[in-house]
Chains A and B, each alone.
Chain A
Amino acid sequence: MSNTIRRRSRSRLVAALTLAVVTLGGVACSAGSGTSHANGATTAAEGLWKAGDGNIPSLDLRSHAMKSLQGKTMAWVPVGLGVPLTDEWTYVMKTRAEALGMKFIVRDPNWDSQNEARAVSSLIAEHPDVLVLHNPDVQLLSSQIEQAQKAGIFVVQVNMVSNYKSDAYVGADWETLGSLIANDIVKTCGPGTSGKVEIIEGPKTSGASLDQLRGAKSVFDQHPEIKIVSDQSGGNWDPSAAHDLASTVLRANPDLCAVYGFWGVMTNGAAQAVKEAGQAGKIKVFASGGGSPINCQNLQQGLFHEFVYYDAPLQAQQIVDIGNLLLQSGLKAGDVHWASYTPLQVWTADKAAATTCYTPKVTLP
């Protein structure tokens, strides 16, 4: 008996280590590639799932999947609903989780970080099976994520990672995104231009800002011809702050080459300032986002020069897939630390007609 338990523990540890090595090795996995990790996870599963044993009757496989998911609860706490990105995530997650027979609940903190911390505490007490969190910054929910994991709740973090790593992170690879945009800025603002660039970050403590800036700086540092004339925060992703920053900086630097904003919705304010100054198309605006309509409009009007798209509906699907995987795997909360980075697509003004933004669907909690 004790040997069996030891064997199980050992096989679970081996599976966890395998997943951790694959994840920490920097392999970015999409929803599709998640299947290969699922095969790894099966070696650790209890009950039906045995190492190297693929001779499972189809009905048993189905029964195991159903039993693992039916009636389980997935709880989602965004930073706040009411913006296209979080509305789209919520709609897709709810639809897909419910289709798998899961119960989906959403708590809307309404963009108040204290509300968010309270909502997470209350959910930990309710003990959902999977807790999906959208961190406003790298620290706020750290201790609660640890607490939830200790309570046996799987925790998936979305798009903005915390200092405390949970079972899974689903979202953009901000460092790659930052370096990708920076490289394109280097190409755009090369010889024959002033090389002057304005950066408008989001909140300084947000994971999306910190990692994106690191990625961008790693490129800009190697290109002395690029001059960062301004690097400031647009507050809490505030388009009017971005407008005021851009309008001031571009007046002082009429030969400004590019504005790089860390989120499309916020950067829209900067693009409007460029338009207001009659510099649309001359000053190139770079941004990124989940593909809400304003970004497509700005591309089509030539207000955005380049937009790096991380697929918000796909991210929501990935979250449900990973929840599904964790629940079927037989793993315990905290056994693995998984990262699933959303593929990035570069949308440019000349390809604007081919880009498709989603129409956000609103799901009230």
Chain B
Amino acid sequence: MNEYTPILALLALGFGFGLFSVIISGFTGPKRYNRARLDAYECGIEPTPQPVGGGRFPVKYFITAMLFIVFDIEIIFLYPYAVAFDSLGLFGLVEMVLFISTVFIAYIYVWRRGGLEWD
């Protein structure tokens, strides 16, 4: 029983948090509705209606968001590297250069293919 007490606890906590957030926001949140507020995504992107007669679906926002994640992860790796810089020595340098260049290649791709242009 012992070893899976934490897991049960985690499960309970997960459910509890979900329930708690929904209920408490229902009680405490301000109830001023407007159009943007009712959209599925509160991000300024209109999911519907789609462009008449098909056409392209604007994904500019999502591309930018995904780029953010890529660079975010890069930064996350840079922090611990900075902390252990001395003890890792040349090995660390080589590995980090490899890592950064990998991310950089992705960056070049996005940049050259117009992923950074908003319009």
Q: Are A and B associated in one complex?
A: no
Interface residues of B, Cβ cutoff 8 Å to A = none
